[in-house]
Structures are given as structure tokens and as C-alpha cells.
Structure 1
Amino acid sequence: MTKKAIWQRAAGIKLLVLDVDGVLTDGRLLFDAEGREQKVFHARDGYGMRALMRYGTELAIISGRKSRPVEARMKELDVPYVYLGQSDKVATLKKLIQELGIKLQQVAYVGDDIPDLACMQAVGLSVAVHDAHQTVRKQADWRTTLPGGRGAVREVCDLLIDAQQVAQT
């Protein structure tokens, strides 16, 4: 897809949906000595997410895993739609867009692995993080230059904000 086509699609996005493991994190699963899960998030991703929400774009998390650290981080960032432990991500996505009154073409989805493909194929703008599985990279409309958990989400947020600002001028 051309850069111009990416920008045109990005300009019409009303909802950004993110996977967690491999997108907001580097994909590693860390546990302390007591078996409690730990996650590392990048501050730049959080800044981008807040900026995008301030700009008026809705933001959601849909993950196949339940995670207390993810719940805590999303609460800290005031992310309004957080769906953890979702075995059918597409069904969750469709319920959410119905609730928001938007179309799938107005959704951008960021993923990194095979479980994300169905959502990526359903939306208007599919994004793979730089270090995504090769099948996901091939299917995506756009790929970040940074890997998951290292600022990739910030890149997507910046793209959406910039494209929407240009479209308004």
C-alpha cells in the first residue's frame, strides 16, 4: 500500500485497537519468584496513547490473556475500553464498534502474531509492529519501524494524529 493510501486511511480512523503482548510489550512473559506476572511498558507508547485520546480518537485494548499489570497500566492511562482474556477478538471488536456507532473501516488494529490476523483483516487499517511474525507483516497495510514494547504504538498514534490534522487543513 502506498504512503498516500496509508495516510488517507489513517485520516478516517475513529478507533485504535491494540493487542498487548508483543505490541505494548516486547512479548516476553516475566514472572517473579512468587509467580506474579510482571510487564514492561514503554513511556513513549503511553504518551502517544494519551495524546491520541486527547485528540478525540477512541482507544481499546483487546488481549487473549488476562493480566493485572496490564489492567493497572491501562487504568493509569485512562484507556476506556480494556478487554482481557478474549478468546474471540473479532467478536469483541464487533461488539465495541456497535457500541461506539462506528464502522470497521474506521478502525485501526495493531498486532504482532497469528491470533491478531482476523482483526487485522477486518479493519480499515491494519498495522504490524516491526518484529511481528512474518505472516502478520505480510498481511499488514503498514509496519512500524520500531518493535513492540519499544515505541511502536507511539509511531501509530503519531501517524493517526498527523494524518487527521492534515486532512482537516
Structure 2
Amino acid sequence: MFLQKLKEITTLIFDVDGVLTNGDIIASDSGEFLRTFNIKDGYALQLAVKRGYLICIISGGKGIAMQKRFEGLGIQEIHLGVGDKVAVFNSLLAKHQISAEQVLYMGDDIPDLKVMQLVGLPTCPADAVPEIKALSQYISPYTGGKTAVRDIIEKVLRVQHQWFDEAPSAVDSGK
């Protein structure tokens, strides 16, 4: 069942804090919030974009650095500072004419719960809260910010024979 669902995925949506980061935020004296991202997650994200998958970011967090990071990976659907993730999700379905069954979502905390109930394949990192783990059809053995995103993207791309890149560039994941 899980492998069949992976074969049907065309769209991957990710939360940021706790999924693409470890959930820690450093508050600078200037008022800027700093996060760290894993380079291996970045490689998988840009490869999925190159392979034609729709990659979306939906996060309550926001910041210029986050925006630039995702733009550098080729992600076009970047939604930061979002209060209503379900509204953004429904808008994406309509805009790209996709069904909820084609969507994989990775979240880690209560703000992700409602949208995860709507997607075809809800997933989470190993350190997600219990309510999200209970809902998830796949729990990565990796934690947020520590390649949980790479793990699930690699699974989707491998099942669909899209993983291996014949000519990878060393700069692709570091943008």
C-alpha cells in the first residue's frame, strides 16, 4: 500500500521549522531569526524540482533567508508566514489541477494536522509530536533538519525511477 502511494505522488509539500530545520531558532540582536538547513535535504529538493515534481513550502515561519534558500533550490511555490495552511493547500490544488491523493505532506506539529488529514500521503520526521505521528502513514527514522526530507524524497524518486542523477553538480544543494 505504501509503495503504491509513493508511485502516485506528483507533489511534495513541506513545513519548515521542525521538518527542514531541527526546530531551533536563533534570535539575533537585530531581531532576525536564524535557522540551519541540511545540505542533503537541499540536494534532494532541487533534484525533485529538476525531475518535474511540484515542491511546495507552507510555513508559519518567515524570513528573507528562508525565501532565498528555497528560491535557490528552484522551488517556486514558497508560502511563508502562513496562518491557514489548509487554505494555501486548497489554493495549490486548484492552481495546479492536482488531486489531494497525489500529494505527500511532511509536517511535525499541531499546525500541520488539518492539512495532513487532507493529503494522500501524510508523513513526518522521527521527532514529530505524537498527534502527527499517529496520523502519518510514514515516519522517517530521521529527525527534522537531519535528512528526514531527503529520506522521503529519495523514497518517492526511487520508486518512480527518478532518483539517480547522471551528471550531478556540486553546487546544486548549496544555493
For Structure 1 versus Structure 2, the TM-score category normalised by the shorter chain is over 0.9
Cα distance between partner residues in 2 of 1:67 and 1:110: 20
Any residues of structure 2 matched to 1:56-75 within 5 Å, and which?
Answer: 56-75=52-71
Query: d(CA) in 1 for partners of 2:88 and 2:20?
Result: 19
Letter in 1 for 2:114: A
**Higher alpha-carbon deviation: 49-58 or 137-146:** 49-58
The alpha-carbon deviation at position 7 of structure 1 amounts to 1.1
The CA distance in 1 between the partners of 2:48 and 2:95, in whole Å, is 20
Offset at 1:33? 2.4
Runs of 4+ deviating beyond 2 Å: none
Q: Which amino acid aligns with 2:98?
A: I
Normalized against structure 1, the TM-score is what? Answer: 0.92
TM-score, length of structure 2 as denominator length: 0.89
Q: Is the 2:49–2:74 Cα contact (8 Å) retained in structure 1? A: no
Match of 1:29 in 2: 25
User: Do structure 1's residue 10 and structure 2's residue 19 form an aligned pair?
Assistant: no
Q: 2:131 aligns with which of 135, 146, 163?
A: 135
Partner of 1:123: 119
Contact 1:37 1:69 in 2 (8 A): no
Give the Cα separation in 1 of the matches to 2:44 and 2:28: 29
Q: CA deviation at 1:29?
A: 1.3
Q: Which runs of 5+ in 1 are unaligned?
A: none
Find 1:145's aligned residue among 126, 141, 148.
Answer: 141
Q: Among residues 75, 79, 82, which one is paired with 1:79 in the alignment?
A: 75
Q: Following TM superposition, by how much is the alpha carbon of 1:69 offset from its aligned partner in structure 2, in angstroms? A: 1.9
Question: Which amino acid in structure 2 is aligned with residue 94 of structure 1?
Answer: N
Q: Could you tell me which runs of 5 or more consecutive residues in structure 2 were left unpaired when the two chains were aligned.
A: 163-175
Q: Within 2, Cα distance between the matches of 1:6 and 1:159?
A: 10
Distance in structure 1 (CA, Å) of the matches to 2:134 and 2:96? 30
Q: CA deviation at 1:155?
A: 0.4
Q: Share of identical aligned residues, percent?
A: 34
The offset of 1:8, in angstroms, is 0.6
How many corresponding residue pairs? 162
What amino acid is aligned across from residue 134 of structure 2 in structure 1? K
Aligned-pair CA distance for 1:116: 0.4
Q: Determine the C-alpha separation between the residues in 2 that align with 1:19 and 1:32.
A: 23
Residue aligned with 1:122, SS? coil
Deviations 1:110-162, CA, capped at 9 Å, x for gaps: 00001101111100000011100011111101000110001110001101101
